[in-house]
Chain A
Amino acid sequence: MRSALSEQQFPQYPAPVAIQPAPAPEHAHHPWLQHHFDNMEQQAEASTLGMWVFLSTEILFFGGLFMAYLVYRHASPEGFQEASHELNRFWGTTNTLVLICSSLTMALAVRAAQTGQSRKTQVGWLLGTMVFGVGFLGIKAIEYYDKFVHHHVPGPYFHWEGMYPKPAEQFYSLYFAMTGLHALHMIIGLGIMAVIAVMAWRGIFDEEYYTPVEVAGLYWHFVDIVWIFLFPLLYLIGGHFKG
């Protein structure tokens, strides 16, 4: 069956596009250039933009929790304040410092790849980042254990000696949801670091190709920043240090 739209019936205007050969790429084909990209710049830009877009989804992912936090904090400020006093500010502060250090080593790892430093240096900084990451999770585990022992984990065994048991339980619901999700991101980040470290060890990265380190770095800094928001919201607001 022939379409009603034949060329005779409707005269064609000049072709809408000129298909001409694109200028030959100046650089020789880089071994890590994927076939569907024209050049290394395009590939690097795509990966970086991809990570930024992904991180914007992450912001909204955590955003739902922040929203819930704001709503309930607004509904019972005293209860939340009372509940947050039971968090261990010492460990919280320590963990903040640990994460900031890990971001520093991460930045140095990216720089090491960008400036084509030896693979030992690259792997060194990456391992440093991982050590801090594991340290963070270790401290988190100590804190969780502490909550468990004191029956501050929401659910049937929740126990609260204070004026506001309901809001306190809610606070801890949000505390576990938010820090749990954050910890999950740390664990995924450690996995990514391990892969990147292996790649670095194989000497893949140099001045021309370092996008994976850079992109992994963006992710790591993001997870760090989420904590920078969680820490004051959960540990610090309305607080007074117990004497």
Chain B
Amino acid sequence: MDTTATPTLNYLNNGHGLKSWLLTRDHKRIALLYLWSVTAFFFLGGFFALMIRLELLTPASDLVQPDTYNKLFTMHGIVMVFFFLIPSIPATLGNFLIPIMIGAKDLAFPRINLLSWYIYILGGLFTITAALTGGVDTGWTFYAPYSTTASNSNVILAGLGIFITGFSSILTGLNFIVTVHRMRAPGLTWFRLPLFVWSHYATSLIMILGTPVIAITVLLVAVERGLHLGIFDPALGGDPVLFQHLFWFYSHPAVYIMILPAMGVVSELVQAFARKNIFGYAFVAFSSLAIAIIGFLVWGHHLFVSGQSTYAGLVFSIISMFVAIPSAVKVFNWTATLYKGSVSWDSPMLYAFGFIGLFTIGGLTGLFLATLGMDIHMHDTYFIIAHFHYVMVGGAIFGFLGGLHYWWPKITGRMYPEGWAKFACLNIFIGFNLTFGPQFIVGYLGMPRRYAMYAPEFQVWNVLSTAGATILGIGYLIPMVYFTWSIFKGEIASANPWGARGLEWEIPSPPPTENFLVTPIVTHGTHQYAPSHEVGIV
């Protein structure tokens, strides 16, 4: 690799100073603004998680009062879901890569892109203010009527924070959809698009169709609290179950906002490191759309114990199983791609492997939960916690870290120390399973979620879990350190250090400000690791 490359003009050195970053309209710089901010929120959310785990080390509530504990898990949920998981991959990697992958100079609306970052920060400030001025204790789900009448914490402020951030998500989704429709380079047909772009397209559909519903829902909670409108509060004639319907109409699809982009990343990684074309391109592409669509029809599986009718429960139970089909299609296609591939074990690939394993466990336990009778036993226990952490933390974060490692040389023009990267990945994998594995068991045994105290016989599992969380926390810190180190000291990366395919690898690292000096003309699929006639892709 050439370590003596002469510095050329790229998006990083083209303009210096705070102003050139805070007023930039370059999608690559905005992606980095997001990267810094989601990382900050991730560690904030991680801090809350650490407090939760420390409190649960012993059965008694001795570290914090139950009241404080309620606020801790609420803030943990809000920060992680709305400020980390939802924006993480789309706003950083998506923002950075989508225009490049489709041969465009920028997203369709660069100014709106910057605006969405500011909205995100503004929403974050509201939420942090809510946390600092007393906190919120409703749980991240804001269930009414607790959130509308009973709770005397900062519900309105936190709700506004989520309301505002929602617009950031809507604007990002809107920008992606228009960009994919209107900015593709000549010759880049829909079925030549990288799977990363497909999965972001599906994610964007969920963002624009789901987010407005949660926005109006938290707005209604806020006005109900503030002005005594009777929408959800039974004392005012409202219906709390309506809240749950509206909330989960967004929040179930939202879990796919968190996971679909990670699936897009994994599709790229599997191809690059197995050096093979994806098995069943069209199936993988369409399964993203199928997930996006079916995901909107299954929200009722969160209401099995809310008193909805048995028939509704049955229907939701069956449709929930359907959503597992396209997810399984993806897993099978990745496995088939790896089969007999010349797989290399670079750190991004390790994350992809981790993703596939953990997501499979999370998805299968989702099927348990979608079974009516099982869910009544396990609802609101640690089994749920384990299920969604396997999919969201195991899935989304492994996808995020895998993608970040894979495209790091492109983003920064530097390599990171591979040995450390492998070590960190292993560390995270072990820590993760030690943290959330025992929670399946203790949840199955009946330990309820959201309590600061628990029965003494559950302690051994909780100690294991807390130990795992410590390892996990350290695992997350290591990449922070070596990534920072690599920006200054890392080996200079070539344009295509992995020998991978895709338009992003055809331009220099880091990319020039305009991405492409001339618009590329695409003559066949952008991700071909074998001649087109062998794989039947046009």
Contact = CB atoms under 8 A, between A and B. Distances in A.
Contact of B186 (A22, A58, A72): A22
B239 A71 contact: yes
A86 interface: no
A18 B1 contact: no
Interface in B216-255: 216-217, 220, 223, 227-231, 236-239, 242, 245-246
B511 to A, nearest CB: 13
B220 A2 contact: no
B508 interface: no
Nearest to A19: B520
Contacts of B1: 2
Nearest to B345: A4
B530 interface: yes
B498 A3 contact: yes
Contacts of A177: 220, 223, 229, 231
Contacts of A16: 501-502, 524-528
B346 A4 contact: yes
Where chain B touches its partner, the secondary structure class is loop
Contacts of B185: 22
B159 to A, nearest CB: 14
Interface in B509-538: 514, 516, 518-531
Chain B contact-residue range equals: 35 or more
Contacts of B272: 5
Interface string B438-465: 0000000000000000000000000000
Interface in A30-47: 34-36, 38, 42, 45-46
Contacts of B62: none
B418 A1 contact: yes
Contact of B506 (A2, A13, A19, A46): A19
Contacts of A68: 220, 231, 242, 246
Given A16-B526, A46-B109, A173-B229, A64 B519 contact: no
A208 B511 CA distance: 33
Contact of A176 (B110, B174, B229): B229
B208 A13 contact: no
A49 B499 contact: no
Contacts of A166: 230, 236-237
Contacts of A46: 108-109, 178-179, 182-183
A170 interface: yes
Interface in A8-23: 10, 12-22
Contacts of A239: none
A53 B109 CA distance: 13
Contacts of B522: 17-18
B526 A17 contact: yes
B495 to A, nearest CB: 12
Nearest to B528: A16
Interface in B309-354: 342, 344-346
Contacts of A3: 344, 346, 418, 497-499
Given A22-B519, A36-B106, A170-B230, A64 B346 contact: no
Contact of B246 (A6, A64, A173): A64
A148 interface: no
Contact of B216 (A1, A17, A18, A65): A65
Contacts of A65: 216, 220
Given A36-B104, A174-B231, A12 B499 contact: yes
A6 B417 CA distance: 17
A26 interface: no
A68 B242 CA distance: 7
B358 interface: no
A156 B497 contact: no
B216 A64 contact: yes
A58 B238 CA distance: 24
B211 interface: yes
Contacts of A19: 506, 516, 518, 520-521
Contacts of B183: 42, 46
Interface in A211-229: none
B298 to A, nearest CB: 17
A212 B393 CA distance: 43
Contacts of A15: 506
A116 interface: no
Nearest to B108: A46
A94 interface: no
B498 A61 contact: no
B355 interface: no
Given A1-B417, A46-B108, A170 B238 contact: yes
Contacts of B182: 42, 45-46, 49
Contacts of B500: 5
Contacts of B212: 57-58, 60-61, 63-64
A173 B230 contact: yes
B170 A57 contact: yes
B272 to A, nearest CB: 8
B229 A154 contact: yes
A54 interface: yes
Contact of B499 (A5, A71, A173): A5
A4 B421 CA distance: 14
A67 B104 CA distance: 40
A18 B516 CA distance: 13
A150 to B, nearest CB: 17
A238 interface: no
A58 B506 CA distance: 39
Nearest to A71: B242
Contacts of B230: 154, 166, 169-170, 173
8 contacts: A1-B417, A17-B523, A42-B183, A53-B177, A57-B208, A63-B216, A167-B237, A170-B231
Given A155-B228, A174-B231, 10 more contacts: A16-B525, A18-B522, A42-B182, A49-B177, A50-B109, A50-B178, A64-B217, A64-B220, A154-B228, A170-B230
Interface of B: 1, 104-106, 108-110, 112, 170, 174-175, 177-179, 181-183, 185-186, 208-213, 215-217, 220, 223, 227-231, 236-239, 242, 245-246, 272-273, 275, 342, 344-346, 415, 417-419, 491, 497-503, 506, 514, 516, 518-531
